[in-house]
Structure 1
Amino acid sequence: MRIITIEDLKDIYIKFHQRGLPFLLSKFNLDSYKRTQSAFNEKEIQSSNFWLIPDVKKRWNTLITGNEATSYEEYITEEYFKDRENLKILALGSGVCSHEIRLAELNPHWEIHCFDFSDELLKKAKTISDEKNLKNIFYAAENILKYPFKPEEYDIVFFHASLHHFDHIHQFMDDIVIKSLKPDGYIIINEFVGNNRLQYSKIQLDYINRSLKEIPKKYRKIFKTNMYKNKYYGSGSLRMIIADPSECADSINILPAIHEKFDTIEEKPFGNNILQSALKDIAHHFIDSDPEKKAVIKKVFALEDELLKVQPSDFVFGIYKLKPSVK
């Protein structure tokens, strides 16, 4: 395990320019819960992350739904739960709730409860859902690990990029997820399921750096800095724990814990083994539809597809049903 790397030092400098000194100072709080909260409790975060790139989103849609124009929220609705009325959904670690709001729009007969510790993000989510006049989505700013969820209340527990922020995944599944589900309940995930603390293998680091060589220098200028992204060294565990103790705390056990207690209805890997790190802080260059930029992104996609032939996907979309023997 890498304790500290050059990447960590670069990241401190970049975060100072992107999020300011108060954000960095918040990381010296001795309370790990407060440090985690500071990572998410801003309503407006200016960043340049890979998920902002339109072609990346189209790639995800293609790998998950088979159609670049069909989102996974639409896919879930049409393929699995179109005729299910009065479903009650529990969304844990929902943040600004963009995916939950989309599900509420598509399924006005569902009732969706969003839980997150960031009151600021939930306030923003409520503003958006109020503007859309949605009456079937509700918000609670709570510590999920301590909240007294009612047993067997929900038909579905939903995670979008949040399950990997929980530690002791097997216990979390038993104490909160399974306890909250009805006997015939489901979980739906869109998640990072790779190595804890983003401890990438040597081959993965090699492929990330190969992809950076495919990106012209003018597109490697890091957001809000004068630095260029020339090499990626991998994250050190110490900086990750200080910055956000919840980040990928037990991500490697997500799929084993799910497979133990749930039957797999559908499970689709969609990569990001290269994209997440190679395009971090430089994604803003690839937002438009410039042909040269699209060609560069296509080369990065090809390298990721090559890597995925020899390495498991870091991200997975899945729908799972609770095994009859569990309850």
Structure 2
Amino acid sequence: MLRTPASRAVLRSLSSASPRSQRPILHRVSPQVQWSSQLCTLSATRPQAVALAASKTVANTFARQLVTSRVNHADIKAEKELGKQKLEPHPELVSSTSSIHPISGEVGVKEPEKEPDMLAGMKGDLKTISETFNLDNVPQQAYVIGLAGVIPYLATSLATVACAYEIHNAGTGSSLLLSEHSAELLLHILEPLQVGYGAVIISFLGAIHWGLEWAGYGGTKGYPRYAIGVIAPALAWPTILLPVEYALIAQFLTFNFLYYADTRVARMGWTPPWYGTYRFVLTFFVGAAIVVSLIGRGQIADRIGKLPSPADRINEYRENAAAEELANAAAAETAKENEE
């Protein structure tokens, strides 16, 4: 139908006459619909603007796709480069609780300090003692025989303490087995046994180095290793001439000196690796036995007599010989005077 001014007037009158209820309900449209409507409006009014807007939209979409593809491509490339790298260990970041860290925790971040363990020092000392006395690497035969060699020292030491207890409590009537006289007599028998046995053991420790030299263990060391075997008896046997207290102290120092020498040569490879630990254990028991004997004798030092030592006997022999010479000289003078 051709549109004329008359026909347009009729249509306007009909649209104004339609009821309000029949008017379409307007809903809020989305931005895309608005954009399309604007695009339609622009298409009706400005075709060039529509073409420009459409080209901008296509350009933006293409730019977003290009950026997305580049990002994805960069991630894949980075992952390939990381895959070629070699993993490096970091043990300082691993602990007994590193696998149970909370999700919010950071790897390598120090945990809050816990309350100090009051028994940590005692536990550390016990661990050190257990490691020190660990003789797993020592041959069983040497371990058994070495401990058996300590038994005479421990026996004489305990017997010395028992005798000292009997002598100390003799006046109170609380003695157990021996009288004061019997305990003192037994104590004087124990003195040369303990001192003489100590001298024998010290000499034996020096002889071990002669055996290692002859066996060629650690190579031939010559005079330095022979010297250890000579110094040991040179220090040990003069102690039998000293009073018992001084003899025990001198032997205690000699045992410690030989232990120091044995640990040094063990580090140098002159002896088996376990020899230093082995000597420490034996020296510990022997030194403890000597200290116990000295403590026991110190409690009764003013209540017992002292047996004459070899030096005392030598001095007594000299004095007797000098007195006998004087007596003979006096008798000879007297006989000469009588003859005259």
Q: TM-score when scaled to structure 2?
A: 0.23
Larger gyration radius, structure 1 or structure 2: 2
Q: TM-score when scaled to structure 1?
A: 0.23
Higher relative contact order (CA 8 A, sep 6+): 1
